[in-house]
Amino acid sequence: MPNGELKTLDRVIIFDTTLRDGEQAPGASMTVSDKVHIARQLALLGVDVIEAGFPISSPGQREAVARISDEVSGPTICGLARAVQGDVEAAGLALESADRKRIHTFIATSDIHLAAKFDSPKYGNTIAEKRNTVLRMAVDAVALAKTFTHDVEFSAEDAGRTDPAFLTEIFRAVVEAGATTINIPDTTGYTTPAEYAAIFKTVRRDCGFGPEIVLSTHCHDDLGLAVANSLAAVRVGARQVECTINGLGERAGNAALEEIVMALRVRSDVYGVATGIDAKHLTKTSRMVALASGHDVPACKAIVGANAFSHEAGIHQDGVLKSRATYEIMRAEDVGNDGESIRLGRHSGRHGLFGRLNRLGIHVEESDRDRVYREFVALADRKKEIFDEDLRVIARQAPTGDAGQRYTLEQIHVAVDTGAEPRASVVVKNTRSGLETLFEATGDGPIDALYGAIDGAVGENHDLLSYDIRSVTHGADALGEVTVNIGAGGKRYAGAATNTDVILASASAYLEALNKLVVYRTDVESVEFVANGIMQSFTGEDIGA
Ligand code: KIV
Ligand code: ZN
């Protein structure tokens, strides 16, 4: 590849990491069955690589990678591994049944990371010695990964802040050991587009790689530059982009797949490259991920936001009616936004309801269909019009597949009287033991009292991190949506629920978060994720990564 800008149209590999880096967004833990559904949708969307998880990190991650390897065909399935033997072997094992598999191994390379994470003298006393150690670990990990698959990717974590001379050295060494994709992550979202592109130019020039070695981008959005940085690297020869649906990810998130893909398509005159993405599946995929992760898409988000294609100002509406080209650079239909907002009502049948849910990207398990239909009919009795947003929230209240419901709310009473302290009583059932517990509490307000009563009945240690309430539909009969985040053992668990009765919604959201805490706690006990999802400590093992 010549150093400089591209002249010919060629293919960029879309590497989707929604299920790995995306899932590391606070509170975004997805169930294994959610992940399998999303992976199937990603295959339909046409991504080239699905990073399905980090197998060593927990039994849930291992299972997700193994099931996706087994059940999803088309894309290459990838598993993440630190540059240590146990990780690489766990990834190799989890990927066993994939038709096409990739092991993605990584190690930190910046001096900041080396000094902080490889501080033990066993990695060397000076930065130069520590660099030698990580180089050796990287080479060994790549060589081991090659015994599982020919397709091996190496990432230099915090490459954006790594000495370019060391980047060149380590990349040369891992390519010699067999790596075929070289990923250059801007782990902290620190670089600017010009700086990020310059790193790619330097690596390509100084490493002397041929086109068989794919250079890859992986950008975080801490300065809002993740998409711009990825595109800048594509202009100078990067041929793989790592990204997530809706930009989901740690902290400010990752580069958004839908934005990258549509920028490359709409501005192919600038970038001169193509992807294999079938853009008409973007909207549905975005909705599936929003629903499974509990991270809503902001209305004004590019490509997939609710307002991305709606024209409000009269002058814009007038222009679009005369010629769409006046204010539209792409069509809503191009990204699968059919603009359909059919108003379902109480007389709509099951067929109409599930057909619409399917088009919204909402999968309802067979076993949950009766409940969803019953709730739809009940809501249609209370509300004149049912909007898409109503349907999303009804479906979201479904028991979350394998997360299940350890605790269910059997009774609830909340009293607020002038001059008296708010008081709540609840009966919570433990579905495993069958035990029902009644608990009463008072509080500063009705929600405080309610949550005190639920805490008393459930008896799980945790902190309430956030409580939000908003109206999600229109009119006086609008649904109120409550989202709750609780924290325990260094991990966040999110719950969301919607009801015209906000007290009930508050109770259900809180209980959903508690149910997730109980189910996922075992995963979390063995592993701790820190900033950027990079694992800092493993029980009983210190490897500095
Ligand atoms: O941001 C990062 O550095 C990562 C690596 C594991 C690729 O996610
Ligand atoms: Zn990352």
Contacts of 311 (CB under 8 A, 6+ apart): 317, 320, 327
Of 41-55, 369-383, 385-399, the poorest mean pLDDT is in 385-399
- Given a cut of 80, whether residue 316 has pLDDT beyond it is no
Name the pairing type of β-strands 152-157 and 463-471: unpaired
What average pLDDT does the chain have? 87
Res 296 pLDDT > 90: no
Task: Give me the pLDDT at residue 538, please.
Answer: 35
21 close to ligand 1 (CB < 6 Angstrom): yes
The ligand 1 atom at the shortest distance from the C-alpha of residue 106 is 6
Q: What share of the chain is helix, strand, coil (3-state, %, to 5)?
A: 45, 20, 35
pLDDT tens digits along 25-54: 877 778 898 899 999 999 999 999 999 999
Mutate which of 88, 187, 240 for ligand 1? The one with the most ligand atoms within 8 Å of its CB, which is: 187
Tokens of 451: 């949550």
Q: With 70 as the cut, is the pLDDT of residue 523 above it?
A: no
What's the 506 CA to ligand 1 centre distance in angstroms? 36
Radius of gyration of the chain (CA): 25
Question: Which CATH homologous superfamily contains domain 407-530?
Answer: Alpha-isopropylmalate synthase LeuA, regulatory domain (3.30.160.270)
Dihedral angle sign, alpha carbons of residues 361, 364, 369, 373: negative
- Averaged pLDDT for residues 424-436: 90
Q: Ligand 2 centroid vs 218 CA: distance in angstroms?
A: 6
Atom of ligand 1 nearest to the CA of 183: 7
Taking residues 85-89, what's their average pLDDT? Answer: 98
How would residue 483 be classed by pLDDT, with cut points 50, 70 and 90? confident
Question: Is a pLDDT exceeding 70 seen at residue 20?
Answer: yes
Residue 527 pLDDT greater than 70, yes or no = no
Q: What is the pLDDT of residue 314?
A: 65
Residues 6+ apart with CB under 8 A from 531: 250, 251
Q: Is 92 in the pocket of ligand 1 (CB under 6 A)?
A: no
How is residue 247 annotated by DSSP?
G
Instruction: Give me the residues paired with residue 492 across strands.
Output: 487
User: What are the tokens at 347?
Assistant: 């007389």
Hey, which of 57, 217, 532 would you mutate to test ligand 1's pocket, going by the most ligand atoms within 8 Å of its Cβ?
Answer: 532
Average pLDDT (482-486) is 83
% residues pLDDT > 90 (the chain): 60
pLDDT at 543: 41
Pick from 134, 534, 535 the residue to mutate for probing ligand 1's pocket: most ligand atoms within 8 Å of its CB.
534
User: Which residue's CA is minimally distant from atom 2 of ligand 1?
Assistant: 187
**Tokens standing for 316?**
């814009």
246 CA to centre of ligand 2 in angstroms: 15
Tokens of 127: 């930065």
pLDDT of residue 111: 97
What is the whole-number distance in angstroms between the Cα of residue 470 and the centre of ligand 1? 34
The answer to whether residue 194 scores a pLDDT higher than 90 is: yes
pLDDT at 375 over 90: no
Between residues 407 and 109, which one has the greater pLDDT?
A: 109
pLDDT at residue number 24: 87
Of 244 and 420, the structure prediction assigns the larger pLDDT to: 244
Residue 176 in this model has a pLDDT that exceeds 80: yes
37 CA to centre of own chain:
14
Q: Which residue minimizes the CA distance to atom 5 of ligand 1? A: 157
Q: Is 532 in the pocket of ligand 1 (CB under 6 A)?
A: yes
Strands 13-16 and 49-53: parallel
Q: Is 24 in the pocket of ligand 1 (CB under 6 A)?
A: no
Closest-lying ligand 1 atom to the alpha carbon of residue 17: 8
**In this prediction, what percent of the chain has a pLDDT beyond 70?**
86
Among 93-102, 130-139, 339-348, 475-484, name the one with the lowest average pLDDT: 339-348
- Report, as an integer, the average pLDDT of 472-499: 75
For residues 281-302, average pLDDT: 90
State the distance from the centre of ligand 2 to the C-alpha of 90, rounded, in angstroms. Answer: 20
Structure token pair of residue 252: 């400010």
The mean per-residue pLDDT over the stretch 129-151 comes to 98
Residues 6 or more apart whose CB falls under 8 angstroms from that of 88 comprise 81, 103, 105, 141, 144, 145, 148
Mean predicted confidence (pLDDT) in 110-115? 97
DSSP 353-419: HHHHHHHTT----GGGHHHHHHHHHHHHHH-S-B-HHHHHHHHHTS--GGG--SEEEEEEEEE--TT
Residue boundaries of the structural domains of the chain: 8-15+53-240, 340-396, 407-530
Q: Is 185 a pocket residue for ligand 1 (Cβ < 6 Å)?
A: yes
The confidence score (pLDDT) of residue 489 equals 77
Comparing 542 with 409, the larger pLDDT belongs to 409
Smallest-distance ligand from the CA of 158: 1
Range 5-29 average pLDDT: 83
Report how far ligand 1's centroid is from the alpha carbon of 345 (Å).
Answer: 46
Question: Which of 88-92, 206-210, 308-312 is predicted least confidently?
Answer: 308-312
Amino acid at 328: E
pLDDT band at 400 (very low <50, low <70, confident <90, very high): very low
pLDDT at 477: 67
pLDDT at 313: 65
Global confidence as pTM: 0.73
Query: How far is the centre of ligand 1, averaged over its atoms, from the C-alpha of 186 (Å)?
Result: 8
54-72 average pLDDT score: 96
Report CA(253)–ligand 1 centroid distance (Å).
12
CATH no., domain 8-15+53-240: 3.20.20.70
Q: Is the pLDDT of residue 407 over 80?
A: yes
Question: Can you give the pLDDT at residue 90?
Answer: 98
